[in-house]
Structure 1
């Protein structure tokens, strides 16, 4: 039933609301890399490895050789899986290219729309399907004439598929800047700068069939046992074909401190901005801002301790009182001869009250093996 609920929510997201959406392709907002999760995702200014293809493509300029990265995380108590793989290669001392693939999916969902036909139950008609979101990113980064100023551009192809019920394909662009001066680092990331679109196609019969089944299952709850009440949880409709995602922005600043010969500390602050009114701690009709704070303490560049908070939200309770919620994060990492293993304990669901999730990632820097 948990998987059925999730798939219905996915279908509802695809079929209702305005054509230009404040929240769309939200799986692209989760992030990548356990090291970044451990810092509360406050890495717009400091990201400088293969995972910069997501956080800020301008940071790819810092690579000296080939780098590869893998990540796995579980969502909704293991119902959904989130996986990422990235690869980056310097072209020369001033430019770098990178490619990454992300998948967020719920697998092995039972399709029981054909279970009963002509009043007869036939379990052979039950099949399995997946609801999966894919993204392929290709990035290019280059140093500019201005000293210590780098720019990066990321093109992404988005493929979304909900079994045989609905599928879409889309395209978008991100762009980022990074600037360094002494121990200070500054970053700007603009996401969906061209207003990312998704073109949807639907099997209307299958879609409305599953909506009817869901309404029938919940009829007794919705109507309080009153057969004369014909209200529907989800109405039967003709879905929209085009979905557009509004731009978003992230502004970051970071500072590196040398504590002693063996210990270094990086502190970071990010301002995550959506151009819509939300429950973020700073909210207006034009822009809403959610800050993120993070730190990384390292010992001789080998062992890392990380922490951070993000997703600061104003939550309205059942008694209409408001409270501030936030998402704490914790992480550790180990780096030896070009192999980095990182772990983060973080609530990647981004919702108060949900269980924390374990995120693991692996990064390999080929330069150490040459």
Structure 2
């Protein structure tokens, strides 16, 4: 039998599409991580997903109303992001692409920073050191894989990983999509990660579409198997199951952090919305496919699981209210954002004040003043 025709193991899953819990030989090695979760942690998973989806909807509406230049929706990918982000430790470094809104929220990022970036009033977005090591959004496909791998190599050289202390040892998670796996940057990152055995998890959110190109055209084999060619072990999970995303990421991060080298996780999920608000998926996507994936909705699935454990209406109503309040606050603060001054063009070119920047800033100020007050 040809290698690319070999039977594939089932993706790791704990929650079926209807929210029922299953445990068998396909996921038993990850079960201890689920059993260690308390009720408050499970409730937080739901809260994270609901607040993120409402934020995402509000930002989409703001873009449609002319308040943002662009918005990359994350609708449908909440479980993959929440599970993996909650699996990371506070000392870990997380490198996003450009739709990891849930990851940013979990790491303590003020979501206005994402909106300001998409509104065009921020040159970068936020300071990772002030947001629990949540690094900057990267719109150049796949380049964040190189940034993350280089950072992970630095952790090894600095001796802050692999010491055997899980409370201080650091690791790196890098997020990217199925389309990015066709970029050379991701392949190069896998080469260096394997060569230097970096403490790193490559977290691939396979949302089935690279803008208008389906994953079946991008690859003839499951994407997690690509990493094996570089010597990086890979595994596939149900990315719409927040418990599976959490447990598999937790285990792989602990192994990477302890000196076991890099890993890749392919989370099977779906981009329910458009690639960005400049895209129209109805031009290339079958509605039957969309309906099938909507039936596997991660939030509805997890709510059914929580209700089966005895969670009542009061909790879900509380979370819904919190999500509405958060989105209303976001809208208010977005509309209050002003335009940046021209000073920001010069202020961050160098890490320290630079005389050339001072000269150029004065020139631009004088040039603008030459047009007069009524210009």
TM-score range, shorter chain: under 0.3
**Bigger strand share:** 1
TM-score with structure 2 setting the length: 0.27
Query: Which structure's relative contact order is higher, taking Cα pairs within 8 Å and 6+ residues apart?
Result: 2
TM-score with structure 1 setting the length: 0.27
**Bigger helix share:** 2
